[in-house]
Amino acid sequence: MEPHFSAQLTLLGMACDVVGGIYLAYDLLGGEKGPLNTFFRLVNYSVLAVLIFCISLGPKFALPAGIGIGCAFGLHLENASRSNKDSFLFLLKLGLIRALGIGTGVWINGFPKMAWLMAAIVIVMSLILPRMGISPAVVYQSEKKPQLKKQQLFIACVLGGVAMTTAFIGAAFTGQSMVFQFAIRMGLTFACTTLIVTTLSPIIEWYADNLPPKTFGFIGAILFVVGFSIQALPSVAVMYDITKA
């Protein structure tokens, strides 16, 4: 089995185990109003962002960037659900989380100069855009069905444009044609991710507040089994010489 594919399978299985463990803990410890409720949001938004990023930008970028974007998104929506105002320190914290995830993803893809510049711009934009009403938290809802509004489309276009412009600025410092292609894909991906996540967020928010803990435990147990099975695939392939067939 190809080493990179084997590593991707292992990481996928580990991710299932982590999510399953959190769901089980939610059931066993009772997380309706506690910190596990926050973890539920962070995990679900991170998984959703990673999956979307994987499609167009590959797993190396998707893992750190998706986790950074998903965690910041989850924290922002949780703050909105509690009717808390976005303080400077809170927005700075979200900016640092996003910058770390996106910067790491860009760095891993071989664009270190672009990574530093993008990280700095991400922090600045994280402080400015919410003050202008351009933030996914503005469209916060807790419903049992997805919601799509014109405001979400506007926010997605703005954030996608900011991401693309930021990447183009970083690309100008490298002079590599490949960076410009990466910048275009990044902008489009950020726009699509924002639109999809904000559309599905009401469902996640509703389940975070209303789904019985026993249901989380059942889903967690299934994810544990799925994670173990995925991680076992490379070993089974080697053991039975499936790759040589």
**Domain assignment of residue 93, yes or no:** yes
| 194 touches 77 (CB < 8 A) | no
pLDDT tens string, the chain, 245 residues long: the values are: 556 566 656 666 666 666 677 666 665 555 555 566 777 778 888 888 888 888 888 888 888 888 888 888 888 888 887 778 888 899 999 999 999 998 898 888 777 777 888 888 889 988 888 888 777 777 777 666 667 777 777 888 888 887 778 777 776 766 655 667 777 787 888 888 888 888 877 777 777 666 666 666 666 667 666 766 666 666 666 655 665 54
Dihedral of CA 140/196/201/122: which sign?
A: negative
**Domain assignment of residue 217, yes or no:** no
Q: Is 117 exposed, middle or buried (0-12, 13-18, 19+ CB in 10 A)?
A: buried
**Domain assignment of residue 166, yes or no:** yes
Dihedral of CA 89/162/174/63: which sign?
A: positive
Task: Please enumerate in sequence order all residues whose Cβ is within 8 A of that of 232, keeping only pairs 6 or more positions apart, or say none.
Answer: 13
**Domain assignment of residue 7, yes or no:** no
**Domain assignment of residue 203, yes or no:** yes
Structure tokens at 97: 């989380």
**How many Cα neighbours within 13 Å face the side chain of 132?**
11
Structural domain boundaries, residue 160: 31-132+141-211
pLDDT the model gives residue 164: 79
CA distance 49 to 67: 7
**Domain assignment of residue 18, yes or no:** no
**Domain assignment of residue 230, yes or no:** no
pTM exceeds 0.95 for this model:
no
The total of structural domains in the chain comes to 1
**Domain assignment of residue 198, yes or no:** yes
For residue 5, how many other CB atoms are within 10 A of its CB? 11
